[in-house]
Structure formats: structure tokens, C-alpha cells
Amino acid sequence: MAAFLGLFRRDLSLALRQGGDTGLVLGFFVLAVVLFPFGVGPEPELLRRIGAGIVWVAALLAALLSLDRLFEADYQDGELDLLVLSNLPLELAVLAKCAAHWVATGLPLALISPLLALLVDLDPASIARLFASILIGTPALSLVGSVAAALSLGARRRSVVLSLLVLPLYIPPLIFGAGAVEASEIGDGARAYLLVLGAISLAALALCPWASAAALRQALD
Amino acid sequence: MINWLANPARFIRVSEKAVPWCGWTAAAVLALGLFWSLVLAPPDYQQGDTVRIMYVHVPAAWMALSVYLFVAVASAVALVWRHPLAEVAARSAAPVGAAFTFVCLATGSLWGRPMWGAWWVWDARLTSVLVLFFLYLGYIALVNAFDDPSRGGRAGAVLALVGVVNLPIIKFSVDWWNTLHQPASVMRIGGPRIAVSMLVPLVIMAAGFMLLFALLLMVRMRTALNERKAMALRLNAGAVAPRQPEPEPAVAAHTAIS
């Protein structure tokens, strides 16, 4: 447990202090959302209609950008070899790194999303649903992304391969995340979407550390 | 059978005999199936002749799923038992599966235009098959992204197993969601719900597609094995051949002129 917490704290402080990773990801997120009104026109009705989707897609891309850093630096300087050899099971080490990644990217993305929702003119109820869906969905993004990040270690044109692997796997969270915001307030619409999104995140929590650890082991073989 | 074929040299010998047989059978079955489905089979009472697209679309869709399952099983075998042929089989099958998936999407789109009035709709079945296509592409990209081919094979194997999650979603998407795509009418509990005059050519086409896959798989595996052998020979030749003596440096002449 001490090793788990130590690894978590180390990754988190690296992400927060070193060159402002979190700041860069947030900056990208904001800019990506701001680009859309220029592209599709500033009519509030149109933006309100597609706003949730825009914010979600931008959040996906921002999470994708940050995946590069999840294992790459540790792979380069040999730290991953030490992690494999250490007493901490590699699955738990992956979990610690994913948790740190989520606190450093997913959580800030969720926190800033209400602000961006104002830019695309969502109403308060939709903003609350958007915040909840991003908060619930981003753990799945970090966990699923960790598998692809581990698989693509050492590949040629790594970032392109990484995005090709990750984006198809990000479609289910996107469908249910954006769907939760657009679901009508009648009945259980939004709640059902959020529950499915939570199920996706929990399934990713249960399965992805195993897959990532297997991928890391074969990368270091 | 599988264990016996596990030896690559034996596989090369056996497949050399099997490829022509498989090829001619596939050609014959496909020709029969195409003739039956395009000429003999009756037009649908609602769709008219457009229904004939189904005879290519449905077998392609079955193959798209089955080939992915094949890639996943071969990947699992390659990961667990380090089976030398399983990895070659998985990486050789993937592009064929991607092609089947593309055929399935393209024919579905051609059928959808007159029937649904749209080339594409974002319903669950179509979307999940599109994701399958992207998974194939990601697998192919990952397998070829490493300088060390065995590294790419292992990374691809893990990815193929992760992607298996999508298969039940595709299969049951028509039951879980209200899709525009019709629910299963052949492989369903309670027997097929399709006229025999249409079922027979459909089954023949499916058999033809399966033979075609077996043929392409064997040819691609043989190519991959030969490629690997050629690379090993080249590396060996490079290691054994004596180095050429380096030419004498021409420095003296230069200094003399200047």
C-alpha cells in the first residue's frame, strides 16, 4: 500500500510540477472547444444543440494528448524495468499511475467543463449533467488509454499509432457521455446514461490494469 | 491436427498441396453461389432485385466477426503457448478480416441507399461494425509499427484480446437497441426465418467466403513464413561473409596536390 501511494504521489507531483502538463491539457481542451463556434457559426441554438458533443469530443482529444506521458518517460529512463521487478504487483502499479493520470487530467477536465458549457450556451441542468458525465466517464478514458499507451511503447510513429488504437475504444464512453447530456429530463433518461457510463468505467477499472500490465511485460521482454 | 501443423516447415509442405485444392473449390463454390443468388434465387416481394446484395453482405458480415474471433483465438494461443505459427496466422488473417469488414460496410451502404434512403445511419449495428473496422486497422498498424516483428506480434495479440469486447456488442446490438438494421433472421433460436429458396444460396455463398478466407490465409501465411526465412538467410549471410577490405585512404594524393 505504501508503494502504491508513493507511486501515485510521485506521478501526480511530476504531472503537476513538470512543465505544467495539466495546464497544457486544459489549454488544449479550452482551445479545441473555442474553435467550434468559428467553424459552425455562432448561432446559440445550434451551439446549444451540439455543445455537449463538442465538449465531450474535446475532452477525449485532450485525454488522448496526455496519454503520451503515462508510461513513455518511465520507459525511456528505465524506471519501468524497476517497477516490473519491484514487490508491488504490476497491475497495482498501473492502477496507481492511472489514478494519478486521472487526478492530473480527468478531474481538471471535469472541473473546467461547466465553464466551457457556458461558452456553448447550455442551460444549468445540462451543465450539471455534463459535469457529472465527464466526471464519471474520464476514469474509463485514463484506464482504456493506459492499455493503448502500454501497447504502443517503442513503436515507430508512436503517437499516430496510439491515437489509432485509442479512439475506437473511446467511442462507447463518448456515446453515453454525450447522450447523458442530451437525454430528455422526462423520466430516467439521463440517469440511465450515467449508470451505463459508470458501468463502463467500473468494467475498465476491473479489466484494463490486467491488459496494461500484460502489455508492459511484453514491451520490456 | 493443430499440434501436428504447429511445425512451420510441415505447414509449408502441407499448405503447398492444399492451396490449389482450396483455391479451385473456392472458385467453384463462389461461382455456383453467385449464379444461384444473382440469377436463380427469386427477387424479394418488397425489395425486388435489391435483395441480392444480401447474398454478399451477410456472408461478409459473418466473416468479419469470425475472422476477428480467429485473430483473437490465435493471439491467445500465441501469448500463452508461444506457438510459432499462431502469431503468423493472427497477423496474416487481420488484413483479410479488414477487407471482409469493408465489403460488409460497402454493400450495406449500397443496399441502404434505396431501402432506407440513406447511405449511412448511425444505428448501433452499423456503428459497432465500423468500430470493428477501426479495430482491425489499429491492429494492423500496431503489428507493423515495430522494428522487431515478434514485438509487434505480441503487442497486437494483447490488442486483439482487448478488442474482443466489441464482438458481443455487434452480435447483440440489434437486440439491445432499437436499430434500423433488422434483427437476426438466420442464426436465431427457433430456426431460420428466411425462405428456403433464399437460404440455400446464402449458405453456399457463406461456404464460398469461408473457403476464400482459408485460401487467402494459407497464401498469406506462406508468404510471411518465406519472408521470415529470407530475412534470416540474409542476416546469416551478412554475419558469415568476410568483410571487404577497405580501400586505401587517398589522403596522400590530396595533400600532394594542395
pLDDT beyond 90 at B214: yes
Poorest-confidence range of A106-110, A122-126, B179-183? B179-183
Cα–Cα distances (Å) from B84 to A123, B7, B22, in that order, read: 59, 8, 23
Interface of A with B in 147-206 (CB under 8 A): 147-148, 151-152, 154-158, 160-161, 164-165, 167-169, 171, 175
Which chain B residues touch A if contact means CB-CB below 8 Å?
Answer: 79, 127, 131, 134-135, 137-138, 141-142, 145-147, 151-152, 154-155, 158-159, 161-162
Cα separation of B124 and A178, whole Å? 15
d(CA A161, CA A172): 20
Query: Residue B118 pLDDT > 60, yes or no?
Result: yes
The end-to-end CA distance of chain A, in Å, is 26
Assigned C-alpha cell, B124 = 448501433
Judged by DSSP in three states, B188 sits in coil
Check residue A41 and report its DSSP letter. -
Task: Give yes or no for residue B258 having a pLDDT over 50.
Answer: no
Instruction: Please name the residue of chain B whose CA is at the shortest distance from the CA of residue A147.
Output: B159
pLDDT of B255 > 50? The answer is no
| Helices A44-76/A124-151 angle, 10° precision | 30
Helix (H, G, I), strand (E, B) or coil at A186: coil
Residue type, B225: L
Chain A residues whose beta carbon lies within 8 Å of the beta carbon of residue B141: 160-161, 164-165
Cβ atoms of A216 and A84 within 8 Å: the answer is yes
- Return mean pLDDT, chain B: 83
Please say if the pLDDT value at position B252 is more than 60: no
- What is the spatial distance between Cα A27 and Cα A212, in angstroms, rounded to a whole number? 28
- Tell me: ipTM over 0.95: no
Q: What is the pLDDT of residue B3?
A: 67
Asked if the Cβ–Cβ distance from B142 to A211 is below 8 Å, we say no
Question: What is the secondary structure of A105-157 as a DSSP string?
Answer: IIHHHHHHHHHHHHHTT--HHHHHHHHHHHHHHHHHHHHHHHHHHHHTTT-TT
pLDDT the model gives residue A143: 94
Helices (H), B117-195: 124-143, 149-163, 166-176
Q: What percent of chain B has pLDDT over 70?
A: 85
pLDDT at A4 exceeding the cut of 90: no
Convert the pLDDT of each residue in A56-108 to its tens digit: 999 999 999 888 888 888 888 888 888 888 888 899 999 999 999 999 999 99
From A221, which residue of chain B is nearest by alpha-carbon distance? Answer: B151
How far, in Å, CA of A185 to CA of A181, rounded?
9
Q: Do B159 and A171 touch (CB under 8 A)?
A: no
The Cα angle at residue B124 between residues B139 and A121, in degrees rounded to 5: 100
Q: Phi and psi dihedrals of B48, rounded to 5?
A: 70, -140
Grid cell 508468404 in the structure block, residue: B223
B255: CB partners within 8 A, 6+ apart: none
pLDDT band at B66 (very low <50, low <70, confident <90, very high): very high
Percent of chain B as helix, strand, coil, to the nearest 5: 80, 0, 20
pLDDT one-digit tens code per residue, A9-65 = 988 888 888 766 788 889 999 999 999 888 888 888 888 888 888 999 999 999 998
φ/ψ of A156, rounded to 5, equals -75, 150
